[in-house]
Amino acid sequence: MTKTSPIGGEEMQGIRLIIITGMSGAGKSEAVRCFEDLGYFCVDNLPPKLIGKFAELIYQSQGKIREVAVVSDVRGGGFFDHLLETLKELEREGISYNILFLEASDEVLVRRFKETRRPHPLAEAGSLLQGIAEERKRLEEVRGRAHLIIDTSHMSPRQLKGVIAGEYAREGGAETLDITILSFGFKHGVPVDVD
């Protein structure tokens, strides 16, 4: 007798789960904003062990949430080491997922960290380059499982958004444009919310 999962299989069909990961400084924060603009339900810095629990919550929403993007990376510290184990667990449960991996060259990552003056999560005692090298090593296997790898070294945020929209927008969603027509009289002043 096989044990059936409360989620997975047919119940999870039609739900898009995107796992965003990759190098620190490669643009994951910008990527998650792009997914938000596309209408995805987004969670940043989710420990891998919680991805399965999160999938259960998606199932319990009874179709209210269909498109989800989660960011899971080395900021999670020791929790991140469970990502591969979590991916295997999702596969056993019949939950399909898509991994988006963002990377950039060492030179670009160093420049970005210097510009933002934020510390690299793995460069606590060593140099920035040592932290980047350690992160590349830890992400090697996950990178090999990625469905899409984007090198953001020479990309602007707008170009990254275009690539993500081209790959992950629902049909008809990427080309839609919302227009609001508002009639007003200057006698009462310009409305606060006009663009």
Which tens digits make up the pLDDT trace of 26-40?
A: 999 999 999 999 999
Which has the closest alpha carbon to 33: 24, 42, 25?
Answer: 42
State the pLDDT at residue 8: 47
The predicted model gives 174-192 an average pLDDT of 73
- The mean per-residue pLDDT over the stretch 53-72 comes to 87
0.85 cut: is pTM over it? no
Question: Alpha-carbon distance 14 to 185, whole Å?
Answer: 47
Q: At residue 141, does pLDDT exceed 90?
A: yes
User: Mean of the pLDDT values across residues 126-135?
Assistant: 87
Q: What is the mean pLDDT of residues 80-108?
A: 91
Give the pair of three-digit tokens for residue 34.
Answer: 């792009």
Backbone dihedral region of 107: left (phi > 0), alpha (psi from -120 to 50 degrees) or beta? alpha
What pLDDT is stored for residue 22 in this prediction? 94
Task: Using pLDDT thresholds of 50, 70 and 90, give the confidence band for residue 174.
Answer: very low
Task: Answer with the residue of higher pLDDT: 12 or 43.
Answer: 43
pLDDT surpasses 60 at 172 = no
Q: What is the mean pLDDT of residues 7-15?
A: 56
> Residue 155: its pLDDT value, please?
95
Answer for the pair 59, 6: CB distance below 8 angstroms, yes or no. yes
pLDDT for 195 equals: 66
Q: Specify whether the CB–CB gap between 168 and 35 falls below 8 A.
A: yes
Average pLDDT over the chain, rounded to whole? 84
pLDDT tier at 12, thresholds 50, 70, 90: low
The pLDDT value recorded for residue 37 is 93
The pLDDT of residue 135 = 92
User: How many other CB atoms sit within 10 Å of the CB of residue 9?
Assistant: 11
The answer on pLDDT for 2 being more than 50 is no
Residue % of the chain over a pLDDT of 70 = 88
Q: CA torsion sign, 107 to 112 to 114 to 117?
A: negative
Query: What one-character-per-residue DSSP string does the chain give?
Result: -PPPPSS-GGGGTT-EEEEEEE-TTSSHHHHHHHHHHTT-EEESS--THHHHHHHHHHHHTTTS--EEEEE--GGGGGGGGGHHHHHHHHHHTT---EEEEEE--HHHHHHHHHHHTPPPTT-SSS-HHHHHHHHHHHHHHHHHH-SEEEE-TT--HHHHHHHHHHHHSPTTTTT----------GGG---TT--
